[in-house]
Structure 1
Amino acid sequence: MTKGYLILETGEVFSGTLIGSEKDSTGEVVFNTSMTGYQEIMSDPSYAGQIIVFCYPLIGNYGFNPAGYEGDALHLKGVIMGEACNLPNHYSSEEATHQLLYKLGIAGLADVDTRELVKTIRHHGTVKGFITKDPHHIFVEKEETNWVDVVSTKEQKLYSGYGPHIALIDFGFKKSILNALLKEGCQVTLMPYYTSFGEVQKLNPDGIVFSNGPGNPKTLNARLPEYKKMAETYPSLGICLGHQLLALAFGADTTKLLFGHRGGNHPVKDLKTGKVFITSQNHSYVVSESSIKTNTFKVTHRNINDQTIEGLAHQNLPILSVQFHPEAHPGPEDTHYLFQQFLQNIKEKSGVMSYAIK
């Protein structure tokens, strides 16, 4: 067992036991409050470039299985946990946490006082950190990376279906978003984030989904005019980063939260019905309240805890966007109805449909 350390840019040092790769690793340190779903969380491309701190004290007790991954690879920079279970007990498990991290060359640190670490992050806000064997290592900040460019598909991929044809713009999509669309019978074409409006026109989809993804949405400012033309032409649904990008494209602004929303237990209120849903979330940035033009967007959902914007609808166009994850995984599926609402928008715009909406 090798002693390891997490060194924060603010000077704090947390000790633990290295698991997985023993190579030094730098990333933005964030925490997730979910009690289950560590495999889906670790494989979510939205965590690219980050070091995840799990609040739940035991990670790995049911192992890792082939069906539980949300991406084709793990893009996170490290994992911090209280206790790592080395002997998982589940019929579908193929490997334990330390085995997976070692195989993929990802740094992990167990036996850490995660309660104190999370308190530190909440105090300072999201900070950069460094996992290392050397407790005297001097933190050096790395250059910013365009993580969307790292995780997005590089070529179009078609998934067959009998229903409406959806262009899924990939900023780091979770497989559960694709599965939710396929479950509704949609034909889906996965497209790179740098896809032009002209390329979408050639495809002539019935609607567009702007996916989740990692990093600061303003990294993609140069692409916003293309996204705006897409959303002005086709019924659109934005999820997480996709929500932020649609807001930016129509003139709103985004701002960074102190330590973000990450977990499967965030209460969100639907302002139309007054109903509160428990949602899955993973983001650092939100749409700024003061930047919303009321003649462009209306706020449809709010976070109960801090009143931040969780959903928008365009006043004149069939555009919906939400900050949370209606496909969940991990977390509750309370808000899956938003996919049906998106498909209803497609139906109303087309006037006639040769396919059925479930």
Structure 2
Amino acid sequence: MQARLTLEDGRTFPCRSFTGPGEASGEVVFNTSMTGYQEVLTDPSYSGQMVTMTYPLVGNYGVNDEDVESGRIQVAAFLVKEYQPFPSNYRSTQSLADYLAGQNILGVEGLDTRALTRHIRNGGAMRAIISTTDLDPESLKRRANALPSMVGMDLAREVTTRRAYRWTAGKPELLGDELTLDARVWRHRGDRPSVVAIDFGLKYNIARCLERVGFEVLVVPAETDASAILATAPDGLFLSNGPGDPEPVVYGVRTVKDLLGRLPIFGICLGNQILGLALGGRTYKLKFGHRGANQPVKNLKTGKVEITSQNHGFAVDMDSLGTDAVEVTHINLNDNTVEGIRHRRLPAFSVQYHPEASPGPHDAAYLFDQFRAMMKTK
């Protein structure tokens, strides 16, 4: 089915839908990973974005019920060069087209993803519309320019869990309608250290990694305040990844400020940006973001280079951090942006990349052990 993608600057790309008729809008970004499209599709950090895969052939191993990072597809649309309609994999339970169509997500192929990626790299991530019904480039351009900007958009509020849940044996277990929890409610299963994970768009594999290193994990909604968190008597606080601009997430920043020095804190991706804001820093939007499984990051303490998986469009401003209290621990070797920070005196640290990535590099898995070592011995 014929379709057309038009960017806010007027650049247009003919393509065709492999999921049926439809229309989608959002910010167009690209991901350089060769595999992992199901994890990409279900990553809440992609909320509000239309994702282009730079690897040309997509769909060849289908999808399954296990390789998901949340309870639903999060992307606004999925853009590929060539869709493979006949998956061949013993774990596959469904084709990619049926998976997308089943959740009313538009998928398009036959698009010049190489040209689109080069255009975004030169001009920056842009708002756009894909349609199978409106094929007029001028009409689509006007509509694309009317879309809201990602800057100033609080998407964490949209993707967060509505109810607290315990992460148990690799899956969520809902605990109730209200966050009126204490240690007796959710820590009765053992004497492992407990961590409260604030869900700004939590990927399931982060919860799996926290559980793997020995934590009991309680996941709470993004707007949970410090008093409610302290009422659960946790041993640590985790700040999750998530979509959108970190600066409008003022409730999360306020909670972290209230808990600094009271609990060990570890943040990933949006959690890194929120910690940076809580420590007095600023954030800014990157030109086209970092999305893929091969970003080189240097650990400034060890001098080692880690190959990392990343998915973010904003970053912490290095110059805004007071060096007396905050130390930059990691930098991106492609553009020297901040990839990790820590407080010099308080037990709080974070990274911009994804140490839990699956599939992807495992160079940074040590960070979960580092967080576990900050807890009281149990």
Q: Are the equivalent residues in 2 in contact too, given 1:53–1:79 (CA < 8 A)?
A: yes
- What are the within-5 Å matches in structure 2 for residues 256-295 of structure 1? 256-295=285-324
- What are the within-5 Å matches in structure 2 for residues 90-101 of structure 1? 90-101=89-100
Letter in 1 for 2:147: K
Matched residues in 2 for 1:21 and 1:281: separation? 31
Deviations 1:314-351 (A, max 9, x none): 011111100000111131111000001111112xxx3x
Q: Which runs of 5+ in 1 are unaligned?
A: none
Letter in 2 for 1:57: P
Cα deviation, residue 222, structure 1: 4.2
1:315 and 2:344 equivalent?
A: yes
Q: Are the equivalent residues in 1 in contact too, given 2:129–2:140 (CA < 8 A)?
A: no
Matching residue of 2:356:
327
Q: Are the equivalent residues in 1 in contact too, given 2:48–2:75 (CA < 8 A)?
A: yes
Q: Are the equivalent residues in 2 in contact too, given 1:8–1:128 (CA < 8 A)?
A: yes
Matched residues in 2 for 1:77 and 1:88: separation? 23
Matching residue of 2:158:
150
Letter in 2 for 1:124: G
Letter in 2 for 1:234: L
Q: Are the equivalent residues in 2 in contact too, given 1:7–1:135 (CA < 8 A)?
A: no
Q: Which runs of 5+ in 2 are unaligned?
A: 169-188
Matching residue of 1:122:
121
Letter in 1 for 2:37: Y
Letter in 2 for 1:30: V
- What are the within-5 Å matches in structure 2 for residues 153-192 of structure 1? 153-160=161-168, 162=190, 163-192=192-221
Letter in 1 for 2:127: K
Matched residues in 1 for 2:260 and 2:37: separation? 34
What TM-score, normalized to structure 2? 0.90
Matching residue of 1:18:
17
- What are the within-5 Å matches in structure 2 for residues 242-261 of structure 1? 242-261=271-290
Tell me, what secondary structure is at the counterpart of 1:219? Answer: coil
Q: Are the equivalent residues in 2 in contact too, given 1:21–1:105 (CA < 8 A)?
A: no
Matching residue of 2:53:
54
Matched residues in 2 for 1:173 and 1:278: separation? 22
Matched residues in 2 for 1:76 and 1:6: separation? 16
Answer with 105-114 or 139-148: which moved more: 139-148
Q: Are the equivalent residues in 1 in contact too, given 2:154–2:246 (CA < 8 A)?
A: no
Summarize the Cα distance change of 1:222–1:208 in structure 2 as closer, same or farther, 3 Å threshold: closer
State the superposition RMSD in angstroms.
1.2
Matched residues in 2 for 1:295 and 1:52: separation? 39
Q: Are the equivalent residues in 1 in contact too, given 2:127–2:147 (CA < 8 A)?
A: no
Matched residues in 1 for 2:357 and 2:252: separation? 27
What TM-score, normalized to structure 1? 0.95
Q: Are the equivalent residues in 1 in contact too, given 2:47–2:243 (CA < 8 A)?
A: yes
Matching residue of 2:186:
none
Matched residues in 1 for 2:20 and 2:208: separation? 32
